[in-house]
Structure 1
Amino acid sequence: MKKSRILAGIWMLFLVLAYLVSASITIGIAAVATVLLCFFCFFLSIAMKNKVTCYFEVPDMAEKEQQVYGKLIFENHSLLPAGRLRAELLFQNLLTGEKEICHLDSMAAGKEKTETKWSVCSNCCGAIRISVQKLLVSDMLGLFLTEQKLNISDTMIVLPEMKTVEVQVGDSFTTDWESIQYSEQKKGDDPGETFGIREYQPGDSTKMIHWKISQKLGELYVKEPGLPVENAVLLFFETAKLTGDSRTSDQAELMEKLISVSENLTEKGMHHKIGWYDQKKEQLCMEEIDSADNLAQIIHGLLSLERKEKTFTGLQEYAQKYQEQPFGHILYFTAEDPGNLADLFAWQCSFQTVRPGEDVGILLI
């Protein structure tokens, strides 16, 4: 637009000087016509404001490193022509946070649709959100410009690459995967299992009195109930960003490992859960996986998980809210240094961290 205005100014200056020198009627008419044309372009740009819309044609999914193509369709709802159209597109991988901006140019006559092709290629799996940030509409000469703020977006899935994973599980768990274990370190509220014996205290339920021991020792003793621990696996995916040390591709690599482990457990007929902290909704999420269909249904959501800078991890949030409903095994998928997080779960389950760049052959004990 700046270039067009400079050229128009030079042209107008030339006509004025030529008219002053020659006093030619033809040059005078050309100068007046130029001024009228500029006024026409100005009013045209005003009239075209909010008269042009656009929408996408986006492929549903793609493979990693695959060049895929889509379309952005412009629709001019006015009878007047839209001289120049420029859309600013933002491509964002929600999982990794990677962003790329490109511009698409087009033209559209009155009451006409026109389309422009775009392409994208991603080296990482994830949900690619394609959005139009703004649309610039100018007159035919490019002298005047109107800007439309838009909120148009669509999503394309870049499928994860399945890793070769062999999950080994101890015999005590494979025989009865859905049975219940009890913590040996912490009491609970399940009267069906005794955690320990202690002296009676005021307020204790009489139902918990251990009559045989009380009769033998001559004092009242009560049974402390056990804490049930599910004999199942929790795959927890970390979405908090505590430091800036990790690479953008780390989240994609971890997601591929998580989905591969989940798929392997499903093939073995082992029910498990996938957990994460949704940074957008600010809440913990848990999904039970007992079949390949369950896993397929949530893959889109998993690939759309956004990472956010926080002062606490999602696993710490889980430890606070689900402390009374522990799992037998926790696999923690994180790009961050787990520090002493394992100590939070040492009393109740086996805990293992899965990090980027590490082998995914996992032994559950």
Structure 2
Amino acid sequence: MIKNRILWILWLVCMAGAAVITGTWLFAAVLLLTVLILIFSAGSVVLSGKKAVIKLHLPKASERMECFHGKMYLENQSAWPVFGGAGVLRWENLFTGEKGEIPLSFSLGGKEKQVIEFEAGSNWCGCIRFCFSDWKCQDFFRVFSLKRKADTCAYTVVMPERQKGELSLFTREGFDMESFRYSGSRPGDDPGETYDIREYRSGDSIRQIHWKLSGKLDDIMIREKSFPVDDTVLILAEAFQADRDPQRAETVAEVFSAVLQSFMEKKISCQAGVYDHSTGKFRLEKIRTEEDRENILYRFLRYGSDAKTPVTVREYLKDPGIQNFANYVYITGDPQDKEAELLAAKGEVTIVGCGTGGRDSGGEQVLWKYGSQNPKDSQKQHMENNCPVSCWKLH
């Protein structure tokens, strides 16, 4: 556009100089006509694009490192044409921080509708937000321009690669199966299982006295009943990272998926929880089928990616409901994340730290191979596709 303006200015200067030097009306008439054309062009820019409606459409989900197709629908509700429209379609992976731009240009006749197709893709899983917030309306000669607002956004979710876990957490033996039925951190009122044996305290019910053991020990002993749990494990994953790192984020999503898959295949009763930023509500879902796994993973990436602070545990604790869990699995990619400590009062907590380094907790560490295991894909990304994962129980 700057080049066009310079050329038109030079043309005006030449015509004005020629009219003065030669004194002929021809150059003066050409100069006047040029000025009138420029005035008309400026007026056309003011009138065009006022009633342009722009909408974006993206697929609900797509695969990592594969192109997906999006569409931008344009409609000029005015009879005045849009001679030239130009803007930038900006996108951002809310989960990893990856960003990019796609320049677009178009023209619309009066009352015309048009569809512009574009291709995009991401090297990482997550929720990809596309925004076309403003664009420039230009005249036919590309001399004048005026900004127009669009404010349209669309989202698509890039699902993570499916991986097999190598942590003992993913095995049925990784948990005490008896604790799946009864809480190990709090007494209850179920006489079917004993939570603890202790000495008598003032106020204890006579019905709780363990008569046989009291006779052997020559002291009054109390048998505390167990607290039954409805489901064995609650799995929580936190999308927030103070310093967003795509490798850690990718690993968090894959580990979350792998835990759900492993528990489902081994028929370990579990639920998963996700905080939905769009509604401000915490959602709990039973994981029984492949569809359940995909749905909760989609919700985690789509509605949990836009976190400004770690919120998953806190939102769950605000209203945990009447559901009782004996074990909690907390998956995070933030090295400074201490949210799991808030769960300690409710049950046994297992923390899975993705890319957070080892901790002096006697836990387990593996090198997680994230993403596609095709060597060609790794070469395209110019990086080693592995991330350290630590797993330990909170004491």
TM-score normalised per structure 2: 0.74
Within the alignment, does 1:133 sit opposite 2:133 as a pair? Answer: yes
Asked if structure 2 preserves the Cα contact closer than 8 Å seen for 1:199 and 1:221, the reply is: no
Asked if structure 2 preserves the Cα contact closer than 8 Å seen for 1:168 and 1:363, the reply is: no
Report the counterpart of residue 21 of structure 1 in structure 2.
21
Structure 2 Cα separation of the partners of residues 262 and 359 of structure 1: 16
SS of aligned partner of 2:171: strand
Once the two structures are TM-superposed, the CA of residue 161 in structure 1 deviates from its matched residue by: 0.5
Once the two structures are TM-superposed, the CA of residue 268 in structure 1 deviates from its matched residue by: 2.5
Asked if structure 2 preserves the Cα contact closer than 8 Å seen for 1:238 and 1:277, the reply is: no
Report the counterpart of residue 85 of structure 1 in structure 2.
85
Letter in 1 for 2:5: R
Within the alignment, does 1:124 sit opposite 2:124 as a pair? Answer: yes
Report the counterpart of residue 348 of structure 1 in structure 2.
347
SS of aligned partner of 1:210: helix
| Bigger Cα displacement from structure 2, 268-277 vs 83-92 | 268-277
Higher RCO (CA-CA < 8 Å; seq separation 6+): 1
Structure 2 Cα separation of the partners of residues 265 and 256 of structure 1: 14
Report the counterpart of residue 181 of structure 2 in structure 1.
180
Report the counterpart of residue 207 of structure 2 in structure 1.
210
1:40–1:314: structure 2 CA closer, same or farther, 3 Å change rule?
same
1:146–1:189: structure 2 CA closer, same or farther, 3 Å change rule?
farther
Letter in 2 for 1:210: R
Asked if structure 2 preserves the Cα contact closer than 8 Å seen for 1:231 and 1:327, the reply is: yes
1:58–1:321: structure 2 CA closer, same or farther, 3 Å change rule?
closer
Report the counterpart of residue 299 of structure 1 in structure 2.
297
Once the two structures are TM-superposed, the CA of residue 191 in structure 1 deviates from its matched residue by: 7.7
Q: Which whole-Å deviations, capped at 9, do the CAs of 1:184-233 have from their partners, x for residues lacking one?
A: x43456687665664344xx8xxx4438679x99xx99876644445512
Within the alignment, does 1:46 sit opposite 2:49 as a pair? Answer: no
| Bigger Cα displacement from structure 2, 51-60 vs 232-241 | 51-60
Structure 1 Cα separation of the partners of residues 326 and 96 of structure 2: 30
Structure 1 Cα separation of the partners of residues 294 and 119 of structure 2: 26
Which of 249, 255, 258 is the equivalent residue of 1:257?
A: 255
Report the counterpart of residue 380 of structure 2 in structure 1.
none
1:222–1:263: structure 2 CA closer, same or farther, 3 Å change rule?
closer
Structure 2 Cα separation of the partners of residues 270 and 43 of structure 1: 70
Within the alignment, does 1:169 sit opposite 2:168 as a pair? Answer: no
Once the two structures are TM-superposed, the CA of residue 257 in structure 1 deviates from its matched residue by: 1.7
Once the two structures are TM-superposed, the CA of residue 122 in structure 1 deviates from its matched residue by: 0.9
SS of aligned partner of 1:106: strand
| Residues 1-365 of structure 1 aligned to structure 2 (within 5 Å) | 1-165=1-165, 167-170=170-173, 180-183=181-184, 185-188=185-188, 198-201=200-203, 208-210=205-207, 226-230=226-230, 232-241=232-241, 243-244=242-243, 246-279=244-277, 281-304=279-302, 305-310=304-309, 314-315=312-313, 318=316, 322=320, 327-337=325-335, 338=337, 341=340, 345=344, 348-356=347-355, 358-359=367-368
Letter in 1 for 2:111: K
1:351–1:326: structure 2 CA closer, same or farther, 3 Å change rule?
farther
SS of aligned partner of 2:10: helix
Letter in 2 for 1:45: V
The percentage of aligned residue pairs carrying the same residue is: 23
Aligned pairs, number: 352
Once the two structures are TM-superposed, the CA of residue 116 in structure 1 deviates from its matched residue by: 3.7
SS of aligned partner of 2:107: strand
Asked if structure 1 preserves the Cα contact closer than 8 Å seen for 2:340 and 2:349, the reply is: no
SS of aligned partner of 1:142: coil
1:211–1:280: structure 2 CA closer, same or farther, 3 Å change rule?
closer
Q: Which whole-Å deviations, capped at 9, do the CAs of 1:63-92 have from their partners, x for residues lacking one?
A: 221233333343333333312111221112
SS of aligned partner of 1:170: helix
Structure 2 Cα separation of the partners of residues 68 and 14 of structure 1: 51
Once the two structures are TM-superposed, the CA of residue 334 in structure 1 deviates from its matched residue by: 0.7
